[in-house]
């Protein structure tokens, strides 16, 4: 074996701490998918136990989202003050407490309050865990670890639908069991070091060096990596205070990135994904489906979500972020429009069941494989370094706030205008999403973070200013 081959093989390995970090990333995202998805099937049992109406069911389903907004905003500041690791430890503990509170809730109101606590952990995890793991990871492994986080969400949703479809597990057990992986996440995080980048921010370069030696394979060029972290931190400190953090988001040259990021976040939710994940069983049972059939449809939707998330992540760098979104969104809009027509014309009985299921699966196919990918990808790419933490926090808050609004009003809208017009309303939101992406979202695929920041500063953050992957290949030829 040549020296080059040996070096490549060695660098391809992950150290024990990085394996543990990958596990923390996977568990936190699995909890995100599971805790948000489990309410779909649980609502059918909760309705019987607490004799809830649509209003309280909306409150119970949306309570986790209120907590997520608070967690996304609060943990952005906590991670700067307490450190990334300290914040992840706090989030892990809140996951445990929230799951247990929900499982023993004596009333519908206390269940909703417990889900606010659980939501704080969900929102905090989406804000902090990917950043912490990315700052620990070597550059060559960062993409795979981000993939671990996104796939974990899909896995969590699938598990939650399988648990719900079994119909043999009490909702208290199905919600409370989430405390077990949360406790494992807490124990794993206790064994992890602090982020070397945060340590450099605290002027503790010796500890940052020790951490890098611990998380890198033997023979890695730790000193060179540390110099790079220090240089980046020095450059950030030289940045005008008005261009950093939340203040920097108000700068005119940053505004186009904020509009695109928050706009995409809002449309990922307005597209109808949460309506399907949270309320598909409720909608279906209300239109003649048996409970068993409705829960099995939820499993099919969860599996479709996971598969299309994997497919989308595999092809997005070749197809392009903007192009993939523009290709997939019309399919989601058409699926909801046809579904709305079936409900509006009275074709929602047993004979039409295959068509309704086909529309739901088709919607999930087009939505999960396109627009849903962009909600988290854009946040990690479009914001300049000096405002990246504030930008991703604002984007996460926009996403969770829209999710909260939808979940809190959907059943009321269904009661008021009926399922058919409701589906048409969300089909219209998909049309609006297509127009927004077409007019405002540039093609970011293949561009470095530094190139994107430079174009923002020069006022060239528009679709016409960015060539897609195929156009760049044609230009090179």
Which of 162-166, 229-233, 275-279, 425-429 is predicted with the least confidence, judged by mean pLDDT?
Answer: 275-279
Give the pLDDT score at 180. Answer: 96
Residue 300, domain member (yes or no): yes
Percent of the chain with pLDDT over 90: 32
Residue 477, domain member (yes or no): no
CB 475 within 8 Å of CB 467: yes
Q: How far is CA 88 from CA 181, 270, 340, 450, in A?
A: 14, 29, 42, 28
CATH number for the domain that contains residue 112: 1.20.1250.20
Instruction: Tell me the C-alpha distance between 446 and 467, whole Å.
Output: 10
pLDDT at 429 over 90: yes
**Residues 303 and 154 reside in one and the same domain:** no
**Residues 52 and 169 reside in one and the same domain:** yes
**Residues 122 and 269 reside in one and the same domain:** no
* Closest listed residue to residue 119, CA positions, set 390, 127, 10, 41: 127
**Residues 64 and 186 reside in one and the same domain:** yes
Percent of the chain with pLDDT over 70: 89
**Residues 176 and 276 reside in one and the same domain:** no
Which of 16-30, 89-103, 179-193 is predicted with the least confidence, judged by mean pLDDT?
Answer: 16-30
Mean pLDDT to the nearest integer, 106-126: 93
Instruction: Tell me the C-alpha distance between 457 and 251, whole Å.
Output: 10
Give the pLDDT score at 320. Answer: 85
* Domain end position, chosen among 171, 192, 213: 192
pLDDT band at 219 (very low <50, low <70, confident <90, very high): confident
**Residues 160 and 267 reside in one and the same domain:** no
**Residues 262 and 128 reside in one and the same domain:** no
Q: Which domain holds residue 299?
A: 247-464
Instruction: Tell me the C-alpha distance between 398 and 312, whole Å.
Output: 23
Q: How far is CA 180 from CA 185, 187, 347, in A?
A: 9, 11, 44
Which of 215-224, 301-310, 448-457 is predicted with the least confidence, judged by mean pLDDT?
Answer: 448-457
**Residues 273 and 172 reside in one and the same domain:** no
Average pLDDT, the chain: 84
Mean pLDDT to the nearest integer, 6-35: 78
pLDDT at 135 over 90: no
Tokens 């990917």 belong to 130
Show Cβ contacts of residue 124 under 8 Å, excluding neighbours closer than 6 positions: 71, 72, 74, 75, 78, 87, 90, 91, 94
Mean pLDDT to the nearest integer, 443-454: 75
Instruction: Tell me the C-alpha distance between 269 and 266, whole Å.
Output: 6
DSSP 272: T
Give the pLDDT score at 28. Answer: 93
Give the pLDDT score at 147. Answer: 64
pLDDT at 465 over 80: no
Show Cβ contacts of residue 256 under 8 Å, excluding neighbours closer than 6 positions: 440, 456, 461, 462
Number of domains observed in the structure of the chain: 2
Residue bearing the bigger pLDDT, 314 or 311:
311
Instruction: Tell me the C-alpha distance between 179 and 172, whole Å.
Output: 12
Token representation of residue 378 = 């854009």
pLDDT at 115 over 80: yes
Instruction: Tell me the C-alpha distance between 244 and 319, whole Å.
Output: 33
pLDDT at 446 over 80: no
Residue 20, domain member (yes or no): yes
Mean pLDDT to the nearest integer, 389-397: 82
Residue bearing the bigger pLDDT, 410 or 477:
410
* Domain end position, chosen among 177, 192, 207: 192
* Domain end position, chosen among 153, 168, 192: 192
pLDDT at 467 over 60: no
**E-strand stretches of 79-236:** none
Residue 98, domain member (yes or no): yes
Residue bearing the bigger pLDDT, 113 or 384:
113
Residue 198, domain member (yes or no): no
pLDDT band at 142 (very low <50, low <70, confident <90, very high): low
Instruction: Tell me the C-alpha distance between 404 and 68, whole Å.
Output: 9
**Residues 290 and 145 reside in one and the same domain:** no
**Residues 260 and 354 reside in one and the same domain:** yes
Residue 284, domain member (yes or no): yes
pLDDT band at 466 (very low <50, low <70, confident <90, very high): low
Mean pLDDT to the nearest integer, 240-249: 73
Highest mean pLDDT among 332-346, 380-394, 458-472: 332-346
* CA angle 76–388–449, rounded 5-degree value: 150
Residue bearing the bigger pLDDT, 430 or 152:
430
Mean pLDDT to the nearest integer, 31-35: 91
Give the pLDDT score at 152. Answer: 87
107: left (phi over 0), alpha (psi -120 to 50) or beta: beta
Mean pLDDT to the nearest integer, 28-40: 88
pLDDT at 328 over 80: yes
Show Cβ contacts of residue 109 under 8 Å, excluding neighbours closer than 6 positions: none
Give the pLDDT score at 3. Answer: 46
Instruction: Tell me the C-alpha distance between 339 and 301, whole Å.
Output: 15
pLDDT at 214 over 50: yes
pLDDT at 24 over 80: yes
CB 272 within 8 Å of CB 410: no
Give the pLDDT score at 12. Answer: 47
* Residues 267-299: tens digit of each pLDDT: 999 998 877 877 777 778 876 778 888 888 888
* Residues 41-83: tens digit of each pLDDT: 788 889 888 988 878 888 898 899 899 889 988 988 888 888 9
**Residues 42 and 121 reside in one and the same domain:** yes
DSSP 244: S
pLDDT at 6 over 60: no
Residue 231, domain member (yes or no): no
Please count the residues of the chain. 477
Instruction: Tell me the C-alpha distance between 148 and 29, whole Å.
Output: 8
Give the pLDDT score at 450. Answer: 66
**Residues 129 and 254 reside in one and the same domain:** no
Residue 208, domain member (yes or no): no
Instruction: Tell me the C-alpha distance between 436 and 445, whole Å.
Output: 18
């Amino acid at each position: 074996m040549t020296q080059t081959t040996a070096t490549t093989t060695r660098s391809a390995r992950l150290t024990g701490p990085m394996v543990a970090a990958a596990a923390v990333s996977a568990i936190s995202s699995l909890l995100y998918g599971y805790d948000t998805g489990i309410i779909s099937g649980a609502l059918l049992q909760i309705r019987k136990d607490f004799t809830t109406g649509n209003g309280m069911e909306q409150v119970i389903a949306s309570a986790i989202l209120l907590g997520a907004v608070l967690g996304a905003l609060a943990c952005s500041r906590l991670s700067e003050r307490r450190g990334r690791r300290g914040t992840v430890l706090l989030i892990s503990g809140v996951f445990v407490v929230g799951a247990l509170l929900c499982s023993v809730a004596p009333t519908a109101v206390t269940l909703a309050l417990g889900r606010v606590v659980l939501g704080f952990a969900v929102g905090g995890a989406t804000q902090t865990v990917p950043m912490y793991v990315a700052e620990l990871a070597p550059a060559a492994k960062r993409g795979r670890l981000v993939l671990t986080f996104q796939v974990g969400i899909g896995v969590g949703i699938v598990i939650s639908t399988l648990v719900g479809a079994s119909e043999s597990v009490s909702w208290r057990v199905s919600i409370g069991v989430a405390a077990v992986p949360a406790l494992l996440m807490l124990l794993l995080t206790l064994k992890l070091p602090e982020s070397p980048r945060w340590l450099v921010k605290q002027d503790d370069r010796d500890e940052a060096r020790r951490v890098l030696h611990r998380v890198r394979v033997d023979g890695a060029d730790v000193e060179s990596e540390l110099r790079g972290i220090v240089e980046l931190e020095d450059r950030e400190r030289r940045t005008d205070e008005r261009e950093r953090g939340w203040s920097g988001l108000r700068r005119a040259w940053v505004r186009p990135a904020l509009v695109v990021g928050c706009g995409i976040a809002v449309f990922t939710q307005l597209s109808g994904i949460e309506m399907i994940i949270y309320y598909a069983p409720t909608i279906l049972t209300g239109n003649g489906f048996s409970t068993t059939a409705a829960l099995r449809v939820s499993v099919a939707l969860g599996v479709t979500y996971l598969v299309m998330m994997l497919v989308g992540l595999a092809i997005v760098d070749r197809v392009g972020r903007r192009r993939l979104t523009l290709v997939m969104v019309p399919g989601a809009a058409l699926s909801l429009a046809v579904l709305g027509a079936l409900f509006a014309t009275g074709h929602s009985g047993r004979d039409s069941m295959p068509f309704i299921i086909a529309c739901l699966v088709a919607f999930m196919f087009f939505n999960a494989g396109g627009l849903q990918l962009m909600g988290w990808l854009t946040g990690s790419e479009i914001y300049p370094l000096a405002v990246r933490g504030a930008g991703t926090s604002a984007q996460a808050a926009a996403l969770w706030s829209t999710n909260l609004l939808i979940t809190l009003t959907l059943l009321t809208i269904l009661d008021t205008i009926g399922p058919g017009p409701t589906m048409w309303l969300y089909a219209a939101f998909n049309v609006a999403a297509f127009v927004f992406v077409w007019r405002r979202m540039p093609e970011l695929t293949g561009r470095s973070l530094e190139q994107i920041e430079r174009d923002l500063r020069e006022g060239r953050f528009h679709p016409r200013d960015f060539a897609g992957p195929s156009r760049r290949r044609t230009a090179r030829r």
